[in-house]
């Protein structure tokens, strides 16, 4: 009785429990199945890959993408252990490849091996982002302006750089539709056309954080989509009337703006060095910004008067400095012009 229980009724070989042996059970199990064909979709414009109906910006080689998709197309029985894969991919046309796949594994303690062939179809399709960009789609405009003046060139360049940095950070974080369509400089400032309201909000916040000022939003209803109202938003960024390193006149004296807080400016008197906070409405006139300063050589010093050599004419022009100023002949200093007057910056 014990001998019959230890014999496999299918093959006559030994059986641990008198039933079908492990090898016969393995022969009856379809332990591996392969999809005969898979499609890989790539955006021809930006190189994004489509995965389960969604686009991802995977910076990966075509072979790596194909390998990953082939492994997903191979379906193994849950009882399979220690699978190993031998894949060979051959291009048979510009948009077709064939993968030869051999899988070696263990099932019920029995080594198994099986092969299959999978056809790969390479498809081109414009992604959602490129489709919107090519169709001039946008959801908002960031308008960068300055209070009572045109933004300085360095402010325009800084705002454009902030916008591009913000776009890169958002897209790296998965916000694919947060893109910039256009950046246009005009006589009033800078206009940044954006593909989503999220990036418009982020760009505006980052510009204000870096350059000061404030921003407000102005939505405009442009239609409906799938029963929902569609708005485009103007993000109105207003830079402060004065900014750091501006040279202004306050109380008849020249001063440098060292900080701005809402409607107040903190200034340093260029003659005495005294620092005070005043209302921006109390500033009499804007001369310019330190970025526009010129470098000149001191030709002589006599008490509180110095003579600087003007590069354009070669003439020596006298300027008054504070008696305690350490400036001396031979030094190079920065100046700014206010009509025929020269302002010593130091």
Structure tokens at 15: 């059986």
Q: What would the mean pLDDT of 10-35 be, rounded to a whole number?
A: 79
- Report whether pLDDT(88) > 60: yes
What is the mean pLDDT of the segment spanning 42-63? 85
Contacts of 223 (CB under 8 A, 6+ apart): 229, 230
Q: How confident is the model at residue 342 (pLDDT cuts 50, 70, 90)?
A: confident
How far, in Å, CA of 213 to CA of 258, rounded?
15
- Does 91 score more than 50 pLDDT? yes
Q: Any bridge partners for residue 278, and if so which?
A: 265
pLDDT at 231: 85
- Which class for 120: exposed (0-12), middle (13-18), buried (19 or more C-beta within 10 A)? buried
Secondary structure of the chain in HEC code, one letter for each residue: CHHHHCECCCCCCECCCCCCCHHHHHHHCCCEEECCEEEEEECCCCCCEEECCEEECCCCCHHHHHHHHHHHHEEECCCCEEEEEEEEEEEEECCEEEEEEEEEEEECCEEEEEEEEEEEEEEECCCHHHHHHHCCCCCEEEEEEECCECCCHHHHHHHHHHHHHHHHHHHHCCCCCCCEEEEEECCCCEEEEECCHHHHHHHHHHHHHHHCCEEEEEEEEEEEECCEEEEEEEEEEEECCCCCCEEEEECCEEEEEEEEECCEEEEEECCCCCEEEEEHHHCCEEEEEHHHCEEEEEEEEECCEEEEECCCCCCEEEEECCCCCCCCCCCEEEEEEECCEEEECC
Identify the pLDDT of residue 135: 83
Task: Tell me how far apart the alpha carbons of residues 244 and 211 are, in angstroms, rounded to a whole number.
Answer: 9
- pLDDT score of 5: 61
Give yes or no for residue 317 having a pLDDT over 70.
yes
101 has pLDDT over 80: yes
Are the C-beta atoms of 220 and 163 separated by less than 8 Å? no
What's this model's pTM, rounded to 2 decimal places? 0.72
User: Given pLDDT bands bounded at 50, 70 and 90, which one contains residue 1?
Assistant: very low
For residue range 127-175, list pLDDT tens digits in order: 989 988 888 889 999 999 998 889 999 999 999 999 999 999 998 888 8
Average pLDDT over the chain, rounded to an integer: 88
Most confident of 57-71, 157-171, 326-340: 157-171
């Amino acid at each position: 009785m014990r001998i019959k229980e230890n014999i496999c009724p299918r093959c006559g070989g030994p059986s641990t429990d008198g039933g079908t042996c492990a090898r016969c059970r393995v022969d009856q199990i379809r332990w591996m199945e392969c999809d005969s064909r898979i499609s890989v979709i790539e955006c021809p414009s930006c190189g994004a890959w489509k995965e389960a109906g969604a686009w991802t910006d995977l910076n990966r080689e075509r072979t790596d993408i194909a390998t990953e998709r082939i492994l997903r197309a191979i379906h193994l029985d849950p009882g399979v252990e220690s699978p190993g894969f031998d894949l060979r991919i051959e291009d048979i046309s510009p948009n077709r490849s064939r993968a030869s796949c051999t899988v070696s594994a263990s099932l019920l303690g029995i080594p198994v091996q099986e092969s299959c062939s999978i056809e790969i179809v390479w498809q081109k399709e414009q992604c959602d982002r490129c489709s919107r960009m090519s169709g001039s789609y946008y959801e908002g405009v960031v308008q960068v302006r300055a209070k009572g003046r045109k933004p300085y060139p360095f402010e325009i360049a800084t705002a454009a750089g902030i916008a591009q940095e913000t776009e890169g950070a958002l897209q790296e974080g998965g916000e694919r539709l947060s893109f910039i369509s256009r950046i246009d400089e005009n006589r009033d400032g800078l206009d940044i056309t954006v593909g989503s309201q999220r990036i418009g909000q982020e760009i505006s916040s980052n510009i204000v954080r870096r350059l000061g000022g404030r921003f407000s939003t102005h939505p405009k209803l442009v239609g409906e989509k799938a029963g929902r109202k569609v708005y485009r938003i103007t993000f109105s960024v207003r830079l402060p009337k004065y900014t750091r390193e501006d040279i202004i006149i306050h109380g008849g004296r020249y001063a440098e703006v060292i900080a701005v807080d809402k409607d107040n400016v903190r200034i340093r008197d260029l003659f005495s060095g005294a620092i005070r906070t005043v209302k921006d409405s109390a500033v009499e006139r804007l001369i310019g910004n330190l970025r526009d300063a010129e470098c000149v050589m001191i030709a002589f010093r006599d008490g509180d008067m110095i003579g600087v050599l003007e590069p354009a004419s070669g003439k020596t022009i006298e300027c008054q400095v504070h008696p305690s100023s350490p400036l001396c002949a031979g030094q190079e200093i920065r100046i700014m012009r206010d009509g025929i007057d020269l302002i010593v910056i130091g």
